[in-house]
Amino acid sequence: MPNWGWILIAVLAAIAVISIVFAAKASSGRKQTTGLKQRFGPEYERVVDDADDQRAAESELVARERNRKKLAIVALPPDRAAKFADEWRAVQTSFIDSPANAVGDADRLVNAVMRERGYPVDDFDRRADDISVDHPQVVDSYRSAHTIYLSQEQGDIGTEDQREAFVHYRALFEKLLETTHDEPKEARA
């Protein structure tokens, strides 16, 4: 066989290998995207919209999962969950007479439950990111509630907004009280 024949075979083999590698990488990327969309739900879209770059957003979500795996999140013992549930009922009852105080108490109670479960609570953005891994369906509600709470601190909201914040806090509170041990969803799969 002439030299050009061997060169042609080598070039075709290189093209085939490159094509296979490219196809495998594209397939892997699609799998990751699909997995992240399933795990994070609406939070996936929010992060992509905020990042304006799908790869950067997906890297952010993967980093959240890695950070979450480092946390020692524990289920509440039944007696502690019952104590927190009683406190919630008291806060909920107080909403009638003092919505502003009840929203503040709801924020503090959610933070107390998160702290006891093992979530870091010093930085709100970090809290929301950590919650998004375990509870992606309610993290947006948590952000909304916290935003209303902060607005309330400045005095620019009414009772309807306070009620909305309270409902949002309750959604997360109920998830946090669930007695199953939270694990990142990919670990359960």
For the chain, what are the domain ranges? 3-70, 78-188
Q: What angle do CA 103, 104, 108 make, to 5 degrees?
A: 115
CA–CA separation, 28 vs 30, rounded Å? 5
Are 45 and 33 a contacting pair, CB within 8 Å?
no
pLDDT (mean) for 139-155: 91
Q: What is the structure's pLDDT at 20?
A: 65
Sign of the C-alpha dihedral computed for residues 91, 164, 96 and 174 taken in this order: negative
Read off the pLDDT of residues 65-74 as tens digits, 9 standing for 90 and up.
Answer: 999 999 999 9
Read off the pLDDT of residues 34-62 as tens digits, 9 standing for 90 and up.
Answer: 889 888 888 888 888 888 788 898 998 99
Q: CB under 8 Å to 104, separation ≥6 — which residues?
A: 149, 152
Q: What pTM was estimated for this model as a whole?
A: 0.75
CA–CA separation, 84 vs 109, rounded Å? 8
pLDDT (mean) for 150-155: 87
Instruction: Evaluate if residue 144 carries a pLDDT over 90.
Output: yes
Read off the pLDDT of residues 99-134 as tens digits, 9 standing for 90 and up.
Answer: 999 999 999 999 999 999 999 988 999 999 999 999
Are 160 and 94 a contacting pair, CB within 8 Å?
no
